[in-house]
Amino acid sequence: MNDIGPFELNHIYNMDCLEAMKQMPDGCVDLVLTDIPYNISQKSNGLRNLDYGEWDKQNGMEVIWANEMLRLSKQTIIVFCRKSQFSHIENIFTSGGLSTRTIIWHKSNPTVLNCDKLYIESTELAVYGKKPKGTYNPTYKHNVFDLDNAPSDRVHPTQKPVLLFEEFILDCTKLGDIILDPFLGSGTTAVACIKTDRNFIGMEISPEYCEMAQKRVDAELAQLKLEL
């Protein structure tokens, strides 16, 4: 039986992730795979909605979150983050004895903003950290991932492609492993876990996105039953 504190496998919890993670024992998950708030919300300019909501206004919390992730994962952590957050998180992982790399997601269809004044931002970064005995299945693989960035079922402003997260899961875990996403958002990590036969635990502070994530999980489970 898996000791993951007061939580159950393959469930989504509508709660603050820090409160949840503090209730979980050390080394209780195999992989933390998440996309933290970038803290980039700003007043909308009339053309685009640039204010994503209160969940994206948590400056300085990345250090606290990263330390909890380091404590909980017994193998690997992958955290998508803003450039200004990257070094803080990487330093925590390195100081904790993890081998780190920069993951670069090259988006095929990036958001076009101020393209007549600046280079278009077509990449996002993630900190990859692996503990000494962490699972790593590839034998030769670059750290740049090229994947479509327009999910057909997009319901969240920062939603990542399921195929991207499936690839990370297949690279860094084994069948039946436990994957934690403390910022589940629209549920991409959970859906990717179902597709790859892994277990998940998801936390999401927004009731709206929590409901959306559950609907995506339910739809994926229903599809799986049809395929059996």
Contact, 146 vs 108, CB < 8 A? yes
Establish if 4 belongs to a structural domain.
no
Establish if 6 belongs to a structural domain.
no
Establish if 3 belongs to a structural domain.
no
Number of domains making up the chain = 1
150-160 burial, b if ≥16 CB within 10 A, otherwise e? ebeeeebebbb
Give the tokens for residue 22: 């503090």
What distance in Å separates the CA atoms of residue 183 and residue 177, rounded to the nearest whole number? 19
Question: CA 60, 154, 68 angle in degrees (round to 5)?
Answer: 30
Q: Where in the sequence is the domain holding 16, given as residue range(s)?
A: 11-227
Establish if 5 belongs to a structural domain.
no
Give the tokens for residue 182: 């403390």
* Each residue's pLDDT tens digit, 181-222: 999 999 999 999 999 999 999 999 999 999 999 999 999 999
* Each residue's pLDDT tens digit, 93-109: 999 999 999 999 998 87
Q: What is the CATH number of the domain that holds 20?
A: 3.40.50.150
pLDDT for the residue 131: 98
pLDDT for the residue 115: 76
In this prediction the pTM is: 0.89
Establish if 75 belongs to a structural domain.
yes
